[in-house]
Amino acid sequence: MDPELLLRTAADRLDALAIRTTPGDWRTAGLLATRPDVVAHSPDGSTEHVAEARAGTGAWIAALSPALAAPLAGWLRAAAAHEPVDPAAEAFARVLLARLR
């Protein structure tokens, strides 16, 4: 598979996975029993415990496992080395840093 098709295919699959995953702004909210309590906050103000929606979120969690850390960090470093900075990389970095506060 050529690199451009590879990137487009990965982006399409990530979009499809996001569509079937519990939507919203996921935030940790302490512990639920002995597991982190992750709550999805929707734009309308409603919330849903992500643990209660495991059927929709399991694939998302598995897909975005720590195995992606090195490739994503490499992408960000490569993007930082080129002018102008790729807007997608900048947007990703902004969202990531806001989530890691």
d(CA 81, CA 69): 18
And the tokens for 66? 């720590």
Q: Given a cut of 80, is residue 36 above it in pLDDT?
A: no
Tokens of 87: 């807007």
In angstroms, rounded to a whole number, what is the distance separating the alpha carbons of residues 100 and 69? 13
In a shared domain, residues 15 and 48:
yes
pLDDT category at 10 given cuts 50, 70, 90 is confident
For residue 79, what pLDDT is reported?
93
For 86, the domain range is 65-101
18 and 56 both lie in a single domain: yes
Summary mean pLDDT of the chain: 85
Count of domains for the chain: 2
* Domain shared by 58 and 71, yes or no: no
CB distance 39 to 29 below 8 Å: yes
pLDDT (tens digit per residue) in 54-80:
777 888 888 888 888 999 999 999 999
Predicted TM-score (pTM) of the model is: 0.72
User: What strand order describes the sheet that includes 47-49?
Assistant: 25-32, 35-41, 47-49
